[in-house]
Chains A and B, each alone.
Chain A
């Protein structure tokens, strides 16, 4: 009889079923597809195929190269902005922060399109040559799209830094530059790290930016996966799953490395607000 009575615990049941069917099962399927051929026999060929094809390694290198450059540029721009905003005693600093976050709410394809329109206008004016600079355009687009995502986590950490740590450093005789490099910067590392994960991983796969601004001349991992799934041959889904699995392993390895899979993984979503 007891089992039939309503209890708060029962509310978890549909959730657990949903998680099992649409989160756990899909992961199992990716692994299954990655290690089998079209006849469902075990094989490592999908991985061999991926790693041995020289073009693919180049794509991997390009993806990570673009993502690394984008991340570095984003942090180099975002840090000073976040620092100035966090320092300012203005009442209006909340409004300024809002101004930096606002573009994040515009649809991301439309935002990328806006950059494309700007670059083509500059091309028309003879200032910028689109056809010569597909990689540069892609990086500009990526930085533009992900900059707001890097300002927010750094700002959140900077504003929480205990002012007395900075005063202590000054009192102990450090000049402002020393104070910054030996107190403020190390204390803000968590913010930088979370900005890095919010920019680096998405940029390795968002082929929308590469396609729109690189005129399909710039191929990243995301394109590889998409191509496999669009190909529609018996093998292609298995190869596509293998690439996805490689990506997933890289992601989880880097998560473990930066200790992100713990308590504070709520940041990812919460920081959009």
Chain B
């Protein structure tokens, strides 16, 4: 009994610590107060109105989403093609490039950012949206590669050969046999790439042109550089929206996987 109470209190205490800061923002996003802790008058949506009329934040949101989708798409194509190509190359080639692929994963983000910034300057590549996109692709592609390779290992190698024997061209065999087999790995790599890109601050700040902001860089400049920034209250509304979207996605995902499990039974 004591053990049970102890276990439950550990869980709930840590959950409370994790959620109090976020929930505080959510509650105060429905109030016009500029300072958390001081509740002014009543519940209202003024911060949301502020958020949706702030051109800078809106463009940061747009950039963030566009960047996440485009870098995840490029990473997925690049990483999947690379995984297939290298997996069917000589063992040594695969081994070497598999290790090289892990370099951006294990090294600190800031080192990756610095390294790519140096490369862009040597190649006389100015800081543009393209350099930012390259940075995000470098951040994301190793994760696509590493989630596709295990699926290739699980696949029966005879399937591809059988396809060829039955008259399919290598291209056709690839798209109608290999890709469908490894699709779960590709999808999870893509989703992981999206979350990594959405979460990134360091690589973005080193590679973006000064005219572009993402949610991360905008929020950093508002909160860290300038304590009296007037857009902070609007960012509360943004945090609340982000939190709500994540909860919706998690619940939907949970329901789908539950349904699948039941169908499986």
A binds B: yes
The CA of A184 and the CA of B82, in the complex, are separated in Å by: 40
- Which has the most chain A C-beta neighbours within 10 Å: B20, B78, B192, B219? B219
Query: B235, A113: Cβ atoms under 8 Å?
Result: yes
- Residue of A118, A247, A272 near B195 (CB, 8 A) is A272
Q: Which of A22-30, A42-50, A51-59, A159-167 contacts B (4 or more CB under 8 A)?
A: A22-30
Pairwise interchain contact B25-A11, C-beta atoms closer than 8 A: no
Interface status of B88 (Cβ within 8 A of chain A): yes
Chain A residues, CB < 8 A from B211: none
Contacts of A6 in B (CB 8 A): 169-171
Min CB gap B250→A, angstroms: 6
Task: Using known A-B contacts A81-B10, A241-B114, determine if residue A12 contacts B81 with beta carbons closer than 8 Å.
Answer: yes
Task: Please state if A30 and B118 are interface contacts (CB–CB under 8 Å).
Answer: yes
Contact A205 B110 (CB under 8 A): yes
Query: Which range holds the interface residue count of chain A?
Result: 35 or more
Chain B residues within 8 Å of A261, by CB: 99, 102, 106
Report chain A residues within 8 Å CB of B117. Answer: 229
A83-112 CB mask vs B (1 if < 8 Å, else 0) is: 011011000000110111011011111111
B interface footprint on A257-272 (CB within 8 Å = 1, 0 otherwise): 0001100011011101
**CB-defined interface of B50-91 with A at 8 Å, one 1/0 digit per residue?**
000000000000000000000000000011011011101100
Chain B minimum-CB-distance residue to A88 = B7
Shortest A74–chain B CB gap in Å is: 11
Q: A115 near B: Cβ within 8 Å? A: yes
Candidates B25, B109, B174, B235; contact of A205 at CB < 8 Å? B109
Question: When the two chains form their complex, are residues B254 and A272 in contact, meaning their CB atoms are under 8 A apart?
Answer: no
Contacts of A206 in B (CB 8 A): 202
- B46 interfacial contact with A, CB 8 Å: no
Q: Which residues of A contact B239 (CB under 8 A)?
A: 106, 110, 113-114
Q: In the docked arrangement, what's the CA distance between A241 and B117, Å?
A: 11
Q: What is the number of contacts between chain A and chain B, taking CB atoms within 8 Å? A: 256
* Among candidates A24, A105, A225, residue contacting B114 with C-beta atoms closer than 8 Å: A225
| B11 A148 Cβ-Cβ under 8 A | no
Closest beta carbon of chain B to A78's beta carbon, Å: 8
Chain A contacts of B86 at CB under 8 A?
A: 12, 15-16
Q: Which residue of A lies closest to B9 (CB)?
A: A84
When chains A and B are docked, how far (Å) is the Cα of A144 from the Cα of B219? 18
Enumerate chain B residues within 8 angstroms of A112, measured Cβ to Cβ.
223
Tell me the bound Cα distance from A147 to B73 in angstroms: 30
Is A65 in the interface zone, CB < 8 Å from B?
no
A29 touches B25 (CB 8 A): no
A30/B114 in contact, CB under 8 A: yes
Partner of B85 from A11, A24, A117, A225 at Cβ < 8 Å = A11
User: Complex: how many Å from CA A148 to CA B15?
Assistant: 10
Q: Tell me whether A237 and B118 are in contact (CB under 8 A).
A: yes
CB pair A107 B220 closer than 8 Å: no
Task: Provide 17 A-B residue pairs closer than 8 Å at the C-beta atoms, listed in order of the A residue.
Answer: A6-B171, A8-B160, A14-B82, A26-B118, A27-B103, A81-B10, A85-B11, A106-B239, A107-B219, A117-B24, A120-B36, A121-B35, A205-B202, A252-B107, A266-B146, A272-B195, A273-B188
Closest 5 CB pairs of A and B: A12-B85, A15-B82, A26-B115, A11-B85, A121-B37
Binding site for B on A (CB under 8 A): 5-16, 18-19, 21-27, 29-30, 33, 77, 80-81, 84-85, 87-88, 95-96, 98-100, 102-103, 105-118, 120-121, 124-125, 144, 147-148, 201-202, 204-206, 208, 211-212, 215-216, 222, 225-226, 229, 237, 240-241, 244, 247-248, 251-252, 255, 260-261, 265-266, 268-270, 272-273
Additional A-B contact list (19), CB under 8 Å, known A14-B81, A103-B22 = A14-B78, A15-B85, A19-B100, A19-B101, A22-B119, A26-B115, A29-B118, A106-B246, A109-B201, A113-B222, A115-B21, A121-B35, A144-B18, A208-B201, A241-B114, A244-B114, A247-B108, A248-B107, A252-B107
